[in-house]
Structure 1
Amino acid sequence: MPKHALSRFNRSHKLGVAGVAAAGAAALIFAAVPGADADQGKTQATAIENVKPVAFSAVGTAARAQQATIAKQADASAAKGKAEAAAAAKKAAEKKAAAEKAAKAKAAAAAKAKAEKERRAKQAASRSTVRTAIPAAAPKPAVKTYPNNLDGWIRESLHVMAQKGIPGSYNGIYRNIIRESSGNPMAINLWDINAQNGIPSKGLLQVIDPTFKAYHVAGTSWNIYDPVANITAACNYAADKYGSMDNVNSAY
């Protein structure tokens, strides 16, 4: 720059430029230097350019600080949103798990109730089957009665003998009774050899006590004078010794 140009930049001009630099307003430079020439304008422009970086540097720092603050706020908001989303997801998962657990418990209870119902039905059917399978008790046959006389005694004896498999016929029994006792159930022989030995023959078919006891038929009386007991025991003895009372025609 020419010397004379610098010499024109008096103290007032320098103060004006310094004030502009300090304030950072380029428009004030031109207001403070009216009528300056082209070189003077260039000098002023150069001074303004030297001031700009200071002003923009301060603005950039503030902007960066603001941007950092906004970024931090955005991060905090994002973190908060993420945490809220995680909490909501956890709550939803817990709710779903509780619902599934309740559904399983309900299904298990329903299955248990169904099984119990089936068990009871099966048990009832089983009891019904058992009751059906058990036949009703057959009515007991009426007790056959016989007249209390020689005919009735012989017929009742034949009924017992048939049950025990003892042979004999009505005629064979009747014939021997008439010969031995004449049909008297209380007959007793006090004169024959048995009587002499102390064991007299007794009853319808004249049976001694040892023979009666040995050939007694179950289901009849143990009284040797009982007509049915006496006949069945005598016929049992005759079947053992002679094959049947029908084969006896004399003292036996």
Structure 2
Amino acid sequence: MRNALTGTVRNTKLARITTTGITALGAAGIATAAMAGTAQAAPTPAKPAAQVSAKAAAAKDSKAAKADKDSKADKADDKAKGHADNLDGWIREARAIMKDKDIPGSYDSIKRNIIRESAGDPNASNDWDVNAKKGTPSRGLLQVIQPTFDQFHVKGTKDKLTDPVANIVAACNYAADRYGSMDNVDSAY
């Protein structure tokens, strides 16, 4: 090997790198080994493609089976209660009530505001803002204060601020009155 500074040839043994060695060692490893003058790559045994494919297929089938099972459980829950007892179900149930009461608000805008306000926690409570300092903390999925909930509560929903469906419907009713729709709300309201 030529010494870069002096141009002289060093008497070192150059190792041959095979295609298998390149695959196992990788470009960065080859560069490092070549700089050190000891480029020797030990091939690593590779798993047969059939074995890798079989494991990947089994994992994929397992995920698909779980998703199918979850979907069937959600559908059974929907039939029993009308809607699933989760964020998606609460929004769908609230929207059905809103449709009957002519309260506007799309699924996407409701979910976007819920994620921003409470991260989907129906028991979330804001204990630090101006409302909380006055003794009326914002609570629930869409962070509503009790007086606003009381004023915009929709008959047919539970009379409880932290009930997910009642909270969504009351908040959307308030947003419709104040902003035209929850679709027009992009920050704290």
- Give TM class, smaller chain: 0.5 to 0.7
Q: Distance in 2 between matches of 1:223 and 1:192?
A: 21
Q: 1:49-64 residue pairs with structure 2 within 5 A? A: none
1:161-198 CA-partner distances (Å, limit 9, x unpaired): 00000001000100000000000000000000000000
Count the aligned residue pairs: 111
Unaligned runs of 5+ in 1: 1-141
TM-score by length of 1: 0.43
Residue aligning to 2:23: none
2:117 to 177, 180, 185: 180
* 1:168 alignment partner in structure 2: 105
State the superposition RMSD in angstroms: 1.2
Query: Is residue 179 of structure 2 the alignment partner of residue 220 of structure 1?
Result: no
Matched residue, 2:147: 210
Q: Which structure has the bigger radius of gyration?
A: 1
Displacement of 1:158 in angstroms is 0.2
Secondary structure of the corresponding residue to residue 152 of structure 1: helix
**Who is 1:146 aligned against?**
83
Instruction: Show the 5 A alignment for 1:93-242.
Output: 145-242=82-179
Q: Percent identity?
A: 65
Amino acid at match of 2:127: L
User: How far is 1:242 from its partner?
Assistant: 0.3
Q: Mark the runs of 5 or more structure 2 residues left unpaired by the alignment.
A: 1-78
Distance 2:124 2:93 in 1: 20
Shift of 1:205: 0.1
Counterpart-to-counterpart distance in 2, 1:201 and 1:175? 17
Q: SS of the residue aligned with 1:176?
A: helix
Deviations 1:41-97 (A, max 9, x none): xxxxxxxxxxxxxxxxxxxxxxxxxxxxxxxxxxxxxxxxxxxxxxxxxxxxxxxxx
Q: Deviations over 1:95-119 (max 9, x none)?
A: xxxxxxxxxxxxxxxxxxxxxxxxx
